[in-house]
Structure 1
Amino acid sequence: MKNIDMSLRLVWLLCVPTLMSLVGVPTVRGAETDSQRTPNFVVFLVDDLGYMDVGANNPDCFYETPHINRLAESGMRFTDGYAANPVCSPTRYSLMTGKYPTRVDATNFFSGKRGGKFNPAPLNDNMPLDEITIAQALKGQGYATFFAGKWHLGESEEYYPQNRGFDVNIGGYSRGGPYSGKRYFAPFENPQMKEESPAGDHLPDRLARDTASFIKANQDKPFLAYLSFYSVHTPLMGRPDLVEKYKKKASAISGQEFGDEEQVFGNKPRKVRTLQKHAVYAAMVEAMDQAVGKVLQQLEDSGVADNTVVIFTSDNGGLSTSEGSPTSNLPLRGGKGWVYEGGIRVPWIVRFPGITKAGSESAEPICSIDLFPTLAASAGVNVQHEIDGIDIRPALRGNSLDRETLYWHYPHYSNQGGIPGGAIREGDFKLIERYEDGRVHLYNLATDIGETNDLASSMPERVDQMRSRLHRWYQTVDAKFLQEKNGQRPWTPEN
């Protein structure tokens, strides 16, 4: 692999100027995909779903996910897939743009400004209007574009999906959860969703029905259907029939449900869930899985499954250390809000007809920054601006990727108690740097996926090399850090 310190990629140079290029939308030419057909795309983004929350990744999973499991059996499962950030909005930005969220200071959920020992870094809580989204890129290629569910990328309507390249927006606006109406049950009272649901209608099913209707109506043209579930984010609410089912299932499980986690700030002891048996959360996971199944069935019914790329992923790791701590990510350490693996390693499943082999898996590290370039390349889009992600189709064919490093930057105190810190993964090694005091930790993920054996003191040369590379990346993306509070100054890379 080539040594690429900055992880910057200049994707396909603009060939034929058009009016679209003058207004900031990438120009395109005819699709040149493996199948010589322009593929459709269906993206499933689940909110707060942990790596260990699906049966395809965890055979002992408490939650039942048969449709997601069958998707994995028909495509490729990534064992080392990541979100670009341990909380939602930054990862959503990266999926839309192909860039690290640190580039625009979108480093926490919008708008999360919790302080701790120090003040957090400055936060930009809107996806800048000059960013080119994957929907805009595909729309310029003649795609019909559809969004349903959680957006959480801007505070007012000019930032909403319908103004960022999506022809249709069902339910996407500023809020990070279904906090209006009866929340997960109709009436939803969502300002971006026409109230066409009968009383008691369930939100994940409603969003799946709308997605299926869009696919059916656009089956004769290329389309992007982006279903961004509000599930399985809080509030913890499940369908009564499924909750009852999992209460019975949980009653047969014994063992310690919680363990101790480190205390980053505050004076309340931090606990982490160590056993999956939360009946309401399980009901939410299964209902989401059923919604995925409904959309996949529509692809079959519309006769487009063999020309549709399906991507399934999550925006961050499972919620394990606060807000009800409904899931366990073990053997991964931590969860949402932490730069440990439990907070950033997430499910990634891709089914690409003609490229992926059924039931295959890859250990190539991939990240949410890779969605944009992969879809753009697959559709024959020529992009004239720099992005950070790469086209992962070589990995989908079973080959290696030309990338050495992935980076994370979280200069905030998370709602879940996580570390303000950065991280770099290079091969099997991962280095974590704490922003309060500059301490570093080094782990070999191949032998210590739970990040319990710190190798920093025994491998100083590797620490220096990885830390130097991480610091160069900070400069490249203009990273911001914790701020002074009450006369106390935190560590910075210049200290």
Structure 2
Amino acid sequence: MKQEKSYHRQTSRGNLSLLLSIIFILSCSTEPTLASEKIDNNTKRPLPVFIIAGQSNAVRLGSIIPDPNKKNPIGCDIHTYLNTCILKSNVAEKRHQQVVTIPAKSSVRGAGEGMARELATRYPDGFGVIRYAICGSSLHNDWKPDEKNGYYQQYFEPFIAQGMKALEKQSGRKAEIKAVFWHQGESNSHSLKTVNDHGKLLPIIIHKFHTRYNNVPFILGEIREFTNKPNHAALNAQMRKIAAASPFVDIISSRDAEGQTPSNVHFSSRGCAQMAARYVTAWESINNKQVKTHKSTAAPSKKKPNIIIILADDLGYGDLKSYNKEAKINSPNLNKLADTGIRFTNAHTSSSVCSPSRYSLLTGRYNWRSRLKQYVTGSFSHPIIEHDRITIASFLKNQNYQTALVGKWHLGMGWRNQQNLLVYAKNELGDAIDKLAIDPSKEINGPLEHGFDYFFGLASSLNMPPYCYIRNKHVVGELDTTMQCWGTTGYANKNFEFQSVMDELTNEATRYIKTASKKTNPFFLLFSLTAPHTPVVPAERFTGYGGVAKSKYADFIYQIDDSVGQLMSTLKNQGVQEDTLIIFLADNGYAWKAANPGRLAKVGHNPAGPLRGTKGDIFEGGHRVPSIINWEGTVQPQVNDKLACITDLFATIADLADYDFPDSAGEDSISMLPYLHGETKRLRHDLVSHSVVGKFSFTNADGYKAIFARGSGGWGDRLAKDMNLPKFQLYNLDEDIAETRNLYPIQKELFESMRIQLADYILDGRSTPGKVQKNHDDIVIFKGSDAVLERAINRANPEKNKKAHFISTSEDKKK
């Protein structure tokens, strides 16, 4: 490897004399202007800045040759003098750094003049260039984006920060990064292994840059191809695949770009100008689309749509025929909804159990950032949505929406005692009501404290007391008796009937639609079902209609389908069907206690379809769920296999409502709205999933999934350690969706890079671009009795020394 690096650095020496003399001058002015003066006193717009990075070809692409008439230029890393900046090269590392402002109405020269001239026509008021390139550098030996001692974190990021400050001082304007022009890869083309290393590490660089700089366009450049160097073509094909996966990344061709010689990896001066012009053209193409994380490319609707989210409780990925051809359960309305809308086949909840997933839905934030680290809340638990946190309901309410929740809440409630003081259970599942000395006649804090105008439903799941309905802030009727459900006894209203709950909720939802649709402002309805969660109690009229004989589970799903059909009919009768966006999904995978999978298997029905695992597990069956978006007259039928998460509903609905949320909200939410208007590129590049007992998994853009747990990480393998199951797991979901072939023993480096990315998300308090945020408290990725490595303190809250803990997977660590 050292010989390979030496070869590339030697081939760059022919350019060294040029590189050492690179400067910028203001050649069109008769009198020099001080750099500290504003380019144009009337210019209020930010200074557009372009990053040029990579290896030796990037050096030449960003070069600006000095005017031979200019005397005594000043050399420095970042230094300005009479609008002049010259490169200072570290000869040992051949690291070439340059920060330069191109003032208004200036002329430019040199190997990079193609790029500079293209930009000058678009920015006549001036622009900035920050260049950082290392001759002969590879991603695996030099840049090392997944390690602290690599060039990326140690030099590149700090240099950009310093460069931005220098440009602002030099120009007198606020600097704003517009694009990254990246050209690197020759030093990763020596073998298929180094090509594969490049494919793993380049997405990390892109993602880190997008996270820090708000998804600015990232333009890749192909390296020169030769018939006797097939790895060059392989590396280019790999980069094209990376670019195709993101709307914020593009790649330019190197075809017909002139080289120094027919067999030289370096471009000639003319070739550099050709490539530079292609970079700018590609950037302009992305820039014109104006795709941002929180703002979609779609033109806003003249009228904001009504929004209905239907959230099923414990519905399996394989329970609907639209997701599983072998499914035996009847669901005609849901199948029609999927066939006429967008059917997402790779959509996930953030957790494999319900309370955490509901938190993520409403807040756009991964659930493990909250106070709840495992299991679920109870009816008397402390609310897990922070009192000042923005929710979908609260921002829609501020956007003049009517907001309602009908159905299950299950996010903790604030009950009061006789002194009118809020009291909470000591454990998350909730103590008995008599132990808490609660006065049920007092007001209850719940959905109305988090943005909803109206609430009718249950405090928690149907099998959790109290067994009663709550309307807004009060119990409907009195808690005048006790009832038992699935072994849990609790206070109840004597008129409460478990078998009637789904009908009551459906009737309430249709009544709300009829009332809300008569008003001039749009409405948001979260219809949170109690089915097919236990107790499995379909109304008697559905017995035998589910499609599977003697399966109440199938009948319960058929009742869900009937409820969806009633809502669709109500929208049509009210004349608002084309004005209403409908989102249907489940809160996690199927529950084996409810489904009785053994009985279903006898008729060929698997509630998980092709997936492994169930509710509570970290396997796909625990959190990959049916997810459908339907908007009649607006959304065209399509199947979408791109990664999506329940957290993304926050940013998607914010786009629809034209709401620009702050950095302290929706920290893990990415707008899916472009998909509704035909976008085909991947919008989400990775996913963090969480199990019932707090185990993590991380899925990357290439479909690899790292699991930081033995076995299922949930209820499936409670004795995983005793069963000698592996401590870590890695699966290629594209080739092994059933998660049967553990690749961790042969791909530990990939696993380690994914672990580091997960740790970064934890420490940053977010996985999207924006300011670092606080998590509620310490977060443990994997903590064992051996070799626990404590990562750097949480940058959002250093005074409390909060840490993200995770196990080291290096070879010297033993079980």
Q: Do they fold alike, i.e. is TM over 0.5? A: yes
Residue 780 of structure 2 corresponds to 481
The correspondence of residues 328-407 of structure 1 with structure 2, limited to 5 A, is 328-353=607-632, 355-358=634-637, 360-386=638-664, 387-396=667-676, 397-407=678-688
* Separation of aligned partners in 2, 1:225 and 1:232: 20
Instruction: Provide the secondary structure at the position in 2 that maps to 1:299.
Output: helix
Cα distance in 1 for partners of 2:212, 2:536 equals 40
Any idea what the Cα deviations from partners look like across 1:462-487, whole Å, max 9, x if unmatched? 222222212322333455238999xx
Amino acid at match of 1:388: D
Call closer, same or farther: CA 1:391–1:9 in 2, change over 3 Å: farther
Shift of 1:232: 1.2
Which of 291, 294, 302 aligns to 2:566? It is 294
Tell me which amino acid in the other structure corresponds to 1:297. Answer: S
Cα distance in 2 for residues equivalent to 1:443 and 1:316: 20
State whether residues 690 and 697 of structure 2, in contact with CA within 8 Å, keep that contact through their aligned partners in structure 1.
yes
Match of 1:279 among 551, 555, 559: 551
Once residues 128 and 7 of structure 1 are traced to their aligned partners in structure 2, the CA distance between those partners, rounded to angstroms, is 28
Alpha-carbon distance change, 308 to 191 in structure 1, aligned in 2, over 3 angstroms: closer
| Match in the other structure for 1:100 | 366
Counterpart CA distance in 2 for 1:348 and 1:69 is 12
Q: Is the 8 A contact 2:533 2:594 kept in 1?
A: no
Specify the code of the residue in structure 1 equivalent to 2:454.
Answer: V
CA contact (8 A) 1:5 1:473 kept: no
Of 335-344 and 149-158, deviating more is 149-158
Indicate the SS of the match to 1:169. strand
| Aligned counterpart in structure 2 of residue 4 of structure 1, from 207, 212, 219 | 207
2:307 match: 41
Is contact 1:405–1:424 with CA below 8 Å preserved after alignment? yes
- State the distance in 2 between where 1:444 and 1:354 align: 37
Corresponding residue SS for 2:455: strand
Q: What amino acid is the match of 1:480? A: I
Equivalent position SS for 1:493: strand
The change in CA–CA distance for 1:124 and 1:451 in structure 2 (over 3 A counts) is farther
Question: What is the Cα deviation at residue 202 of structure 1?
Answer: 2.4
Indicate if the aligned counterparts of 2:704 and 2:730 stay in contact, CA closer than 8 A: yes
Alpha-carbon contact 2:351-2:692 (below 8 Å) kept: no
Shift of 1:212: 1.3
Aligned-partner Cα distance in 1 for 2:510–2:317? 26
Which sections of structure 1, spanning at least 5 residues, go unmatched? 13-31, 113-122, 182-187, 252-277, 414-419
> How far off is 1:376 after superposition?
1.0
Confirm whether residue 412 of structure 1 aligns to residue 690 of structure 2: no
Against the structure 1 CA distance between its residues 494 and 484, is the aligned structure 2 distance closer, same or farther, given a 3 Å change threshold? closer
> Does residue 1:168 correspond to 2:454, yes or no?
yes
CA contact 1:149–1:207 (8 Å) conserved in 2? yes
Structure 2: 5+ residue runs without aligned partners?
1-202, 216-297, 416-443, 478-492, 598-605, 714-720, 766-774, 789-804, 809-815
With the length of structure 1 as denominator, give the TM-score of the two structures: 0.77
Taking the aligned partners of 1:91 and 1:305, their CA distance within structure 2 comes to: 28
Displacement of 1:10 in angstroms is 10
Residue 685 of structure 2 aligns to which amino acid in structure 1? E
Residue in 1 that maps onto 2:462: 177
2:575, 2:545 → 1: CA distance?
A: 34
Find the counterpart in structure 2 of residue 61 from structure 1. 327
Q: Summarize the Cα distance change of 1:441–1:244 in structure 2 as closer, same or farther, 3 Å threshold.
A: same
Q: Give deviations 1:94-122, integer Å, cap 9, x for gaps.
A: 1001111122232334338xxxxxxxxxx
Q: Partner of 2:394: helix, strand, or coil?
A: helix
Indicate whether 1:239 and 2:539 are aligned: yes
Are positions 1:140 and 2:398 aligned together? Answer: yes
Q: Indicate whether 1:464 and 2:667 are aligned.
A: no
Q: Secondary structure at the match of 1:451?
A: coil
Q: Is the 8 A contact 1:407 1:425 kept in 2?
A: no
Instruction: State the shift of 1:336 in Å.
Output: 0.4
Q: Which one is further off, 63-72 or 386-395?
A: 386-395
SS in 1 for 2:697: strand
Letter in 1 for 2:461: G
Could you say if the C-alpha distance between residues 463 and 489 of structure 1 is closer, same or farther in structure 2, counting changes exceeding 3 Å?
closer
Distance 2:213 2:669 in 1: 10
Which whole-Å CA distance do the structure 1 matches of 2:693 and 2:496 have between them? Answer: 41
Q: Say if 2:536 and 2:594, in contact at 8 Å, map to a contact too.
A: no
How many angstroms apart in 2 are the aligned matches of 1:368 and 1:9? 23
Equivalent pair of 1:34/1:354 in contact (CA under 8 Å): no
C-alpha contact 1:135 1:164 (8 A) present in aligned 2: yes
Equivalence for 1:210: 508
Alignment of 1:439 with 2:727, yes or no, is yes
Between Structure 1 and Structure 2, whose CA radius of gyration is higher? 2
**Is 1:85 aligned to 2:351, yes or no?**
yes
For residues 323-370 of structure 1, give each alpha carbon's deviation from its aligned partner in whole angstroms, at most 9, with x where no partner exists. Answer: 664563131001100010000100110013454213x11011100100
| Equivalent residues in 2 for 1:7-26, closer than 5 Å | none
**C-alpha RMSD of matched pairs (Å):** 3.2
Offset of 1:243 from its aligned partner?
3.2
- Partner Cα distance (1:337, 1:109) in 2: 9
C-alpha separation in 2, matches of 1:460 and 1:484: 18
Higher RCO, 1 vs 2 (CA within 8 Å, ≥6 residues apart): 1
Alignment CA distance shift 1:76-1:402 (3 Å):
closer
Secondary structure of 1:91's counterpart equals: helix
Counterpart among 522, 527, 536 of residue 222 in structure 1: 522
For 1:26, the equivalent position in structure 2 comes to none
TM-score of the two chains, using structure 2 as the length reference: 0.48
- Cα separation, 1, equivalents of 2:807 and 2:747: 23
Q: Name the CA distance, whole Å, in 2 between partners of 1:128 and 1:285.
A: 33
* Percentage of matched positions with identical amino acids: 29
Which range moves more in the overlay, 189-198 or 462-471? 189-198
Note if contact 1:48-1:336 (Cα within 8 Å) is conserved in structure 2: yes
SS of the residue aligned with 1:207? helix
CA distance in 2, matches of 1:388, 1:313: 18
Q: CA 1:7 to 1:446, structure 2 compared with 1: closer, same or farther past 3 Å?
A: same
Shift of 1:58: 1.4
Contact 1:11 1:382 in 2 (8 A): no
Aligned length: 421
Letter in 2 for 1:87: V
The structure in which a higher percent of residues are helix is 2
